[in-house]
Amino acid sequence: MKTKIFAALALSSAALLSFTSCIDEVQPNGGTITTTQLQSSPAAGMSTLTAIPSMILYCGVDNWDKHCDIGYAGMMIIRDRMTGDMCINPNGTNYDQWSGYAQGRMDEGYWFPQIITYYYGKLVLTCNKAAEAFPEDVEDEISKGCRAVALAYRALTYIDCARWFEYLPCDATSPITKQGNDVTGLTYPIVTEKTTQEEARHNPRATRAKMAEFILSDLDYAEENIGYKPADLAGQAYPDLSVVYGLKARLYMWIEDYTNAKKYADLAIAESGKTPLTKEQWNNPKTGFNTADGNNSWMLSCQLTAENRAVTSGICNFTSFMSPEPSYTYSSAGACFTPDWSFYSRINNKDWRKLSWVPSSIALLRDYQLNGVTDNAAKLAFSAKYKYCVTKFRPGEGNLTDYTVASATALPLMRVEEMHFISIESAAHLNAAEGKQALLDFMKTYRYADYTCNVASTDDVVEEVVFQKRVELWGEGQTLWDIKRLNYSVTRGYNGTNWYTATRFNTDGRPAWMNMVFLSTEGENNESIYGWNNPNTDGVYNTIPDSEVNFDKNKW
């Protein structure tokens, strides 16, 4: 049965229209800032900037009771669920809040894409209100630094939107709409703080070249002025120069300018002074992937507190979906994310990153850290209940019962490891041998000394680099971009698979569902979207039955 929007349409009847500069309200963690207040209070300008991390940590459960509407954390989970790397314990599918994304149910009348378009619309609006508070003609350096922060976050947002909504050729849909328009290479409408509502009603999807030019202009300004940001904007919630370089590296990877991608990834690494996580930091049962403190890897992150709605909701937060250890989470109820079996099996047992999931062997179990438990019998009991489930993201302070502590965790938005892999992959595109050596150096230095790479061609070296990046960033929402950019297939139907039937698709190249659709209401409110939407993908692939893949959910 199709899950249509119906009453939920009232929440976002015009997501793209609503983030023009003429709309007054920004909501930083429950409060409201109006244009009038901005004009009357200089301090309110700073409030527009603090509103951006609050929007990153947004929780919309009170609006329409969708437990997966958890801001940027939700976008990260959605993106990984749309790949072939993150499935769910087949015994916990009744609690799966993300099923439509894994099932490719991208239809212009469904609520699944609505969460994406509505959230990014609000994030763009929040960035634009900050840019409006610190306009481009500001003369003092502090104001320029504030504008640089707003534009860096706007660039982060538009890089996501461009990559997600861009229509690229695939095996299951046509780029020619029913109105006869070719949408190949079209991305997302550009809205700035100067865009009026009338302009927004006639705002076409930007081409890749126009979008890249727009994003680069924001990042060029940020690069020149981010050093002037005030002390009030110190800390990892606000981009610094290294993050601006990192965003440029992401941008150039998207447009496949590998020379510049490598250049800016290397600049980001050098400027940040960051170093990859160690085994002890990665697997720490109290601080592993839940805080920027105690490691020198995270470049950009936002911290939930006990007062955030995502935390007070109890179960509508990243920890709830990503950690089976606390007693109250969705994961502990059975809806725990697991790695695709073929993906997991490919990871070498000597690679300690494999401890991101409940181990499958006694050999791995010996090194497994379960909230400080050292008794193997207790570990085995947990392993039997949560076989292969994710334990990468630990509850806050290792707390298993108090959700105000366990769910008050930080969200990693950029780690230095991503920059290393962008640099390595870019090197491989430019020279396979150099890319291979760079991969060997990174893996042997930072991951495990016995790592080997037995491929030589450009395509094979790139694929190995991307695989290691997938292991590194699993659960952090970065893999979709590489799969889509490189036209990689997603294979979920194979002998021994752990994907349940409704999600079990095999594609020939990039999946059609990675070309995100706009809601039908966007076309009604923006005439330049009507007739230029990406095609719906619900039902364009046939699922592979259990009988063909030897599927037994009890195995998992």
pLDDT band at 360 (very low <50, low <70, confident <90, very high): confident
Query: Is 32's pLDDT higher than 50?
Result: no
> DSSP characters for 201-256?
TT-PPPBHHHHHHHHHHHHHHHHHHGGG--GGG-STTS--HHHHHHHHHHHHHHTT
More confident residue, 492 or 139: 492
Q: How far apart are CA 100 and CA 538, in angstroms?
A: 9
Which of 1.20.120, 2.30.230, 1.20.950, 1.25.40 is the CATH number of 11-70+104-234+508-540? Answer: 1.25.40
Q: How far apart are CA 309 and CA 54, in angstroms?
A: 10
Exposed / middle / buried, residue 446 (Cβ in 10 Å: 0-12, 13-18, 19+): middle
Exposed / middle / buried, residue 29 (Cβ in 10 Å: 0-12, 13-18, 19+): middle
Q: Any idea which residue has 């229509």 for tokens? A: 167
Query: Is 450's pLDDT higher than 70?
Result: yes
Instruction: Count CA within 13 A, CB hemisphere, residue 397.
Output: 11
| Mean pLDDT to the nearest integer, 378-392 | 90
Residue 435 sits at φ, ψ, to 5 deg, of -65, -40
Q: What is the pLDDT of residue 73?
A: 98
| Mean pLDDT to the nearest integer, 395-399 | 96
Q: What is the pLDDT of residue 521?
A: 86
Whether residue 73 contacts residue 317, with contact meaning beta carbons closer than 8 Å, is answered with yes
| Mean pLDDT to the nearest integer, 239-243 | 98
Query: Is 9's pLDDT higher than 70?
Result: no
Q: What is the pLDDT of residue 10?
A: 36
Residue 355 sits at φ, ψ, to 5 deg, of -80, 5
Nearest-5° Cα angle at 477, 85 to 370: 70
State the pairing for strand pair 337-339/410-415: unpaired
| Mean pLDDT to the nearest integer, 476-500 | 97
Q: How far apart are CA 335 and CA 97, in angstroms?
A: 9
Q: How far apart are CA 37 and CA 62, in angstroms?
A: 26
Q: What is the pLDDT of residue 234?
A: 92
pLDDT digits (tens, 9 = 90+) for 264-305: 999 999 999 999 999 999 999 999 999 999 899 999 999 999
Whether residue 428 contacts residue 416, with contact meaning beta carbons closer than 8 Å, is answered with no
Query: Is 492's pLDDT higher than 60?
Result: yes
pLDDT digits (tens, 9 = 90+) for 103-122: 999 999 999 999 999 999 99
Q: What is the pLDDT of residue 43?
A: 65
Query: Is 33's pLDDT higher than 50?
Result: no
Q: What is the pLDDT of residue 289?
A: 97
Burial 226-247 (b: 16+ CB within 10 A, else e): bebbeeebeebbbbbbbbbbbb
* The amino acid at 408: A
- Percentage of the chain lying above the pLDDT 70 cut: 92
Mean pLDDT for all residues in the chain:
91
Query: Is 250's pLDDT higher than 60?
Result: yes
Instruction: For CATH 1.25.40, list the domain ranges present in the chain.
Output: 11-70+104-234+508-540
| Mean pLDDT to the nearest integer, 161-170 | 98
pLDDT digits (tens, 9 = 90+) for 50-69: 999 999 999 999 988 899 99
Q: How far apart are CA 205 and CA 228, in angstroms?
A: 33
> DSSP characters for 456-476?
-SHHHHHHHHHHHHHHHHTTT
Query: Is 15's pLDDT higher than 50?
Result: no
Reported pTM: 0.93
- What's the Cα-to-Cα distance from 537 to each of 2, 11, 316, 486, 542, rounded to whole Å? 13, 24, 27, 20, 11
Whether residue 45 contacts residue 134, with contact meaning beta carbons closer than 8 Å, is answered with yes
Q: How far apart are CA 155 and CA 173, in angstroms?
A: 29
Q: What is the pLDDT of residue 23?
A: 37
More confident residue, 292 or 1: 292
Whether residue 393 contacts residue 323, with contact meaning beta carbons closer than 8 Å, is answered with yes
| Mean pLDDT to the nearest integer, 392-402 | 96
pLDDT digits (tens, 9 = 90+) for 315-351: 999 999 999 999 999 999 999 999 999 999 999 999 9
| Mean pLDDT to the nearest integer, 84-90 | 95
Whether residue 331 contacts residue 394, with contact meaning beta carbons closer than 8 Å, is answered with no
